[in-house]
Amino acid sequence: MAKYYSCQKLKTFFRIKSPAISRTITALPFSTSPSLTTEILNAKSRAQAMDLFNSATQKDLTLHSAIIRYLTKSRFYLDARYLIKCLIENLGQKNNPRKVSSLIFNAIGKMDSGSSCNVFGVLIIALSEMGFVDDAYWVYQKIGKLPPLHACNALLDGFVKIGKVEFMWGVYGNMVSFGLCPSVVTYGLLIDACCVKGEILKAKMMYDEMVEKGIQPNVVIYTTLIRGFCNENLIIEAESMFRKMREIRVMPNIFTYNTLMDGYSKMADAGRAFQLYQEMLNRGVLPNVVTFGILIDMLCKVGEVITARNLFACMVKFGVSPNLIVYNCLIDGCCNSYDMSRALEMYSEMEKLGISPDVVTYGTLIKGYCTLGKVEEAERFLLKMDATGVVVNSVVYNQLIDRYCKDGNTEKALALCSQMIEKGVQTDVVTFSILIDGFGKVGDLEAAMGVYTEMIIKGLKPDVVAYTALIDGHFKKGNTKAALRLHKEMMEAGVAPNALTFTCLVDGFLKNGMINDAINFFLKISSSGSTGDYSNGVLSFPNNVTYFALIHGLIKDGQYFKANKFFVDLRRNGLYPDLPTYAMMIQRHFEARHITRVMMLKADMLKTGFMPNSGMYKVLLKGYQDIVDLSSTRKCYEELNSGLVCSGASLMQSLQDHVNSSALLT
């Protein structure tokens, strides 16, 4: 509001009417009386200079240059900058930015030298702030000397904003070469640029350099560094910087707290995030909508939706109104916990408050319904998006196409893909990959390959999902050579396989009777260390599914010893078998009369939290019957009768027959 008032005051002071200026400047570039220009330059006061300037019926570039020079020389920099911005805006109606810069530069240059460097500095600041950074740099180069520090800082800031960091370092290098001492603002810009580029070590070096020079870092610089460390997942360093700023009595503000809180949020560390939130409140720093957005989003992502809703209710207590982002976070949390009724409540509430849903809101609701398989409800929101003028993007369409593919309805998926193209939404790699996977799952390999070919024609690079689906599809059709060719092509294209890709290859070898190839491939990949064996501390390959495929395949081929070896490896790697794998291994140990191993496997199964189901009891009862262990057979039967396992009448009768036959054998 203050800024608006200031601008209005300046407009009144200068009596500026934009269209009139535009016409005058364009028609009469240099027609002002030399005496009037001289009078303005020699004015005794700002008021006198203004009166002279406003007395002219036609204000050309010369007159503007005179008043700008006077204001700059008299240190009325804000006024001078405002007038230059008006000049740029009006001249820009009929000229490109470089032509405008040239006109103003030449007009200023025609004035007597003296404070010209300062005037050019004001021009550089004005151009930079208006986004004409390249033209500001042109002026910087044309003046042939270093402009004042604040002009250099404006240029540095401009380059950071447009991402031309190499030019920023060039300007900074000139500043140092000419002995211009950087200020706290300068270092703040340099540190911010380093953090944006992910060069956090360089940012820390700049921080150390400014401290060595005796320049005291402010809260902005500390907050920038904390953000940089958090973005690089260096939370310990971020905490260290947070402690350091308080040690030297630079008090964190709401932006600092939000930045560190967001760092904790990205790590899903709710404990430390809320500890920081409490500290913030204790220090009298009140949360804003960003604070609540960070915390609510984090709680929803870790599945604490009820806590998130309770925190949402607390916003009113602090007089903070929820915005679109907060509502989107809550709706996403509800959808992820399959609570669509609550998600719809939040959606209705935001509409009542006059907060218009955006593409993220609708996309989240559509994703939620698609996850539950309720594609009709999802389609309803797609229609609502169209009706309310919210532009549907490829992410939303891909969610619906994926749902139809998962349901085996590839015809509807293709129809939606056509609709997507008609609406002007470009199909992307994800769209093609979903379709390839969908056709692969219904066994239509020809159609999957057709989509793959179309993808290549469009110049799109297939991703890991597309390649994995095609490899799996070819293996299932017995096309081993084609599957391996695609795997080779995938590797040559630089597409990194994931755990599912490797599992499909192992499973494909096994199903096509290539047992040794499966084992060799498994051992080669799992020992190479090139697959990113651990992801966030969890083994990514080989994973449970890969082991299950290999173990089951070896057992079916009668290679029990090797199957047992891989089972032991599975457990050694901290992975857990599923019940069918436990059942299959126990059954084979029963057949080999390895009773001790049966007991160890059963104990391991219970230890990992698996309770025997009806299928497992069938295996146990059959095994105990075969080895004539009546005591264990009766114990299994008692466990069933105790209600630990729910089973049908036919199964109970079958188990009773096992018990009876075991009793007869004794």
Q: In this structure, how many other beta carbons lie within 10 angstroms of the beta carbon of residue 437?
A: 21
5-9, 194-198, 636-640, range with the lowest pLDDT: 5-9
363-367, 400-404, 445-449, 531-535, range with the lowest pLDDT: 531-535
Structure tokens at 299: 């709680």
281 phi-psi bin (left φ>0, alpha ψ -120 to 50, beta other)? alpha
In whole angstroms, what is the distance from residue 550 CA to residue 564 CA? Answer: 11
Amino acid of residue 239:
E
In whole angstroms, what is the distance from residue 485 CA to residue 650 CA? Answer: 49
Supply φ then ψ for residue 312, to 5 degrees: -60, -40
Termini Cα distance of the chain: 96
Q: In this structure, how many other beta carbons lie within 10 angstroms of the beta carbon of residue 310?
A: 12
Over residues 133-159, the mean pLDDT reads 92
For 665, counting Cβ atoms within 10 Å of its Cβ (0-12 exposed, 13-18 middle, 19+ buried), the class is exposed
Query: Is there a contact between 326 and 288 (Cβ–Cβ < 8 Å)?
Result: no
Q: Which is nearest to 280 in space by CA: 262, 307, 305?
A: 262
How far from the centroid of its chain's Cα atoms is residue 389's Cα? 26
In whole angstroms, what is the distance from residue 297 CA to residue 92 CA? Answer: 44
Q: Does residue 115 surpass a pLDDT of 80? A: no
Most confident of 17-21, 631-635, 642-646: 631-635
Over residues 313-339, the mean pLDDT reads 94
In whole angstroms, what is the distance from residue 475 CA to residue 503 CA? Answer: 12
115-119, 139-143, 275-279, 546-550, range with the lowest pLDDT: 115-119
For 259, counting Cβ atoms within 10 Å of its Cβ (0-12 exposed, 13-18 middle, 19+ buried), the class is buried
In whole angstroms, what is the distance from residue 70 CA to residue 44 CA? Answer: 10
Query: What is the reported pLDDT for 4?
Result: 40
Q: What is the mean pLDDT of the chain?
A: 85
Query: What is the reported pLDDT for 72?
Result: 86
CA distances from 43 to 32, 36, 62 (A): 17, 10, 16
Q: In this structure, how many other beta carbons lie within 10 angstroms of the beta carbon of residue 286?
A: 11
Over residues 630-651, the mean pLDDT reads 63
Provide the pLDDT confidence category of residue 485 given band limits of 50, 70 and 90.
very high
Provide the pLDDT confidence category of residue 597 given band limits of 50, 70 and 90.
confident
Over residues 85-109, the mean pLDDT reads 88
Query: Is there a contact between 551 and 563 (Cβ–Cβ < 8 Å)?
Result: yes
Instruction: Convert 22-46 into a string of H (helix), E (strand) and C (coil).
Output: HHHHHHCCCCCCHHHHHHHHCCCCH
| DSSP 3-state of 5 | helix
In whole angstroms, what is the distance from residue 199 CA to residue 197 CA? Answer: 5
Q: Does residue 414 surpass a pLDDT of 80? A: yes
In whole angstroms, what is the distance from residue 271 CA to residue 268 CA? Answer: 9
Q: Does residue 256 surpass a pLDDT of 80? A: yes
* DSSP per-residue string spanning 86-155: HHHHHHTTTS-HHHHHHHHHHHHHTSPSSSHHHHHHHHHHHHHHTT-HHHHHHHHHHT-SPPPHHHHHHH
Over residues 274-292, the mean pLDDT reads 95
Query: What is the reported pLDDT for 32?
Result: 52
Query: Is there a contact between 299 and 330 (Cβ–Cβ < 8 Å)?
Result: no
Q: Does residue 547 surpass a pLDDT of 50? A: yes
The count of C-alpha atoms lying within 13 angstroms of the C-alpha of 613, restricted to the half-sphere facing its C-beta, is 9
Q: In this structure, how many other beta carbons lie within 10 angstroms of the beta carbon of residue 395?
A: 15
Q: Which helix (H) or strand (E) holds 534?
A: strand 534-535
Q: Does residue 643 surpass a pLDDT of 60? A: no
Higher pLDDT, 650 or 365: 365
How far from the centroid of its chain's Cα atoms is residue 588's Cα? 48
Query: What is the reported pLDDT for 664?
Result: 35
| Helix spans in 423-540 (H) | 429-441, 445-457, 464-476, 480-492, 499-511, 515-528
Q: Which is nearest to 582 in space by CA: 612, 625, 554, 623?
A: 612
Provide the pLDDT confidence category of residue 628 given band limits of 50, 70 and 90.
confident
Alpha-carbon Rg for the chain in angstroms:
36
Q: pLDDT tens digit string along 360-404?
A: 999 999 999 999 999 999 999 999 999 999 999 999 999 999 999
Query: What is the reported pLDDT for 269?
Result: 92
Query: What is the reported pLDDT for 533?
Result: 40
Q: Does residue 486 surpass a pLDDT of 60? A: yes
Query: Is there a contact between 250 and 222 (Cβ–Cβ < 8 Å)?
Result: yes
Rounded to 5°, angle at Cα 599 from 594 and 602: 125
427 DSSP 8-state letter: P
Over residues 124-151, the mean pLDDT reads 92
CA distances from 266 to 30, 198, 261, 299, 665 (A): 60, 17, 9, 11, 64
Q: Which is nearest to 241 in space by CA: 281, 278, 195, 283?
A: 195
Provide the pLDDT confidence category of residue 112 given band limits of 50, 70 and 90.
low
Provide the pLDDT confidence category of residue 33 given band limits of 50, 70 and 90.
low
| DSSP 3-state of 538 | strand
Q: Which is nearest to 193 in space by CA: 168, 215, 216, 174?
A: 168
Instruction: Give me the percent of the chain exceeding a pLDDT of 90.
Output: 51
Query: What is the reported pLDDT for 374?
Result: 94
CA distances from 509 to 420, 497, 513, 567, 568 (A): 38, 17, 6, 19, 22
